[in-house]
Structure 1
Amino acid sequence: MAEQTILVTGSTDGIGKATAHALSRQGHRVLLHGRDSGKGRKVLAELEAATGSDRLDLFIADFSVQEQVRGLAEEIGETYDRLDVLVNNAGVFMPEREVAPGGIEMTFAVNFLAQVLLTHELLPLLERSAPARIVNVASIAHRSVGSIEWGNLPGFSRYEPYEAYAISKVGLIAFTARLARPLEGTGVTANSLHPGVIDTKLLRAYIHGGNEGAPPEQGAEVETYLATSPEAGTVNGGYFEETRWTQPSSLAADPEVQERFWEMGSGLTGAVRWADPKAYAR
């Protein structure tokens, strides 16, 4: 496969770091992202030494702050004239309720709204680079959500950690399916995935320590497959769970739920191009 320019968000730890390593070993130009510059520089040096690649770059942004997400997209657009793949891998699990700017609960801000906003801001660059891909990292946890109390979003004044995490992933899968519709004919595809139950900082936050997941490299295989495989490049709006394409929960697949998350994501991020239906009139 020809060299691709690939952004992997949340790539200074866990599955994201393992994915960046795998993609770099394949010869791709990999853009790393983290929120801590010191840790980011350390991981950059580590990956350069491990892969021998001189095609790694680092960008810093706190995904709970929308202005920093916009700044990240702007910086990438100013630095690179193409982006072949966006892997929205960054995510958090918050054992206690925390609030991001604007009164938005932290899990929802990082796991859903930041992905919506970054995708929106980078879409023109992806379209100019077509064929290109958007790969959104969700979770099998979304299947635990039977219904959504819309009035509790986005602040989650009634907070239960696992529920908030699972709802953020329902939103991401629903958004991905809805995004695929206007992407038809652009040369850009959007798909979501569950990478498996992987031993990461996020999983350990949920189970309060211990090691009950597979190694990050196993999750990275799934992300790398969707980012680079020819077969995955022919799918748009799909959901991949560990080893196969399958259907997400009926809730995430519900067109009304997809539209509700689409409108919420557009409104809370100011994603004007998506908030105005005429922008994608065909």
Structure 2
Amino acid sequence: MKTHVITGGTDGIGRALAHHYLGRGHEVVVVGRNAEKGRAWLDAARQRGAAGRAHFVRADLSLMAETAAALESVRSSFGKVDTLVLCARHFRTTRLVTAEGFENTFAHFYLSRFLLSHGLADLLEAAARPVVLNVAGPGGRARIHWEDLQLAREYDGQRALAQGGRLNDLLGVDFADRRPDTAVRYVLLGPGTVGTSFSGEYTADTTAQIEAIRRSARSVQEALTPIVKVLDDPPTAPLSAFAQGEPLSPHGPGFTVEEARRLHRHTQKLLAAAGFV
């Protein structure tokens, strides 16, 4: 029986994946911050006679303490993880600093994925065909603000997400670079514009734009097909990237090992200063 850990698994693509693999008889761990949605996930599993294979870990992934607690919950409950799906995402129009001192989008969209990717690496190695699927939109051209990664001077919600996509590309490069002989396949995937919940806090103008986008977006079920294909039949390369099912090269200017190592060092310093490594 496979074990899938899915962040953002109470909404959108994450929820669809969770139900898909639960229906196939697999073990599914959903990580999310909304306890009510977590109970709804567990109730739905009970109604399908799959209560023993459905799990919910409540965690606000913008907080590293809660991310670390979720990580330990998985580690204490399972001997292996076949797939780690990183789907959680939340848009903020205005800049917010968490109680731990990190900018919210940077923490939620990048730091939590860093901790979970590296923190579950050994459990992934214990699986037969392990995959990390990082849903973040690879291959973007956004600028990385190396001297201001948390955008204290130039915050904009779209800029924060776009930079986060670049940081996750480098996270994938870093993961593969540190494990040259790993069996884990790290996959960076952009599903395109999909009609999910668009979790976030928006201005009135932005809300209107989101509604217009939602009307023309692909359905979650349509987006699911290429994702399931990658998870069921992982690529042979340690690192790969896809945009709406089409392969992208995970090499070149946006995927340099030098920048990935630089980001890893910077991330380690930030987390160590806050007491999380």
Query: TM tier, shorter chain?
Result: 0.7 to 0.9
Mapped to 2, the partners of 1:23 and 1:10 lie a distance apart of 15
Equivalent position SS for 2:188: strand
Aligned twin of 2:72: 74
1:1-282 to 2 correspondences below 5 Å: 3-49=1-47, 52-54=49-51, 55-139=53-137, 143-145=140-142, 147-202=143-198, 207-210=209-212, 211=214, 212-229=216-233, 232-247=234-249, 250-270=252-272
Q: Is the 8 A contact 1:87 1:227 kept in 2?
A: no
Report the AA paired with residue 137 of structure 1: V
SS at structure 1 position matched to 2:198:
helix
Of 199-208 and 83-92, deviating more is 199-208
Contact 1:8/1:30 (<8 A) preserved: yes
Q: CA deviation at 1:249?
A: 8.5
Shift in CA distance, 246/218, structure 1 to aligned 2, threshold 3 Å = same
Q: Secondary structure at the match of 1:104?
A: coil
1:175 CA displacement: 1.1
> What TM-score, normalized to structure 2?
0.86
Unaligned runs of 5+ in 2: none
How far apart are residue 100 of structure 1 and its match? 1.9
In 1, Cα distance between the equivalents of 2:67 and 2:2? Answer: 22
How many residue pairs align between the two structures?
265
Q: Shift in Å at residue 45 of structure 1? A: 1.5
Offset at residue 118 of structure 1 (A): 1.3
Identity rate of aligned residues, in percent?
Answer: 26
Instruction: State the alpha-carbon separation in 2 of the partners of residues 220 and 203 from structure 1.
Output: 18
Amino acid at match of 2:117: T
Distance 1:248 1:162, change over 3 A: farther
User: 1:127 Cα shift?
Assistant: 2.1
- Is the contact between residue 81 and residue 123 of structure 2 (CA under 8 Å) also seen in structure 1? yes
After the TM superposition, list the runs of 4 or more consecutive aligned residues in structure 1 that deviate by more than 6 angstroms: none
More displaced, 172-181 or 240-249? Answer: 240-249
| TM superposition shift of 1:144 | 4.2
Aligned pair in 2 of structure 1 residues 123, 194: CA closer, same or farther (>3 Å)?
Answer: same
Identify unmatched segments of 5+ residues in structure 1.
276-282
Q: CA separation of 1:190/1:18 partners in 2, compared to 1, >3 Å: closer, same or farther? A: same
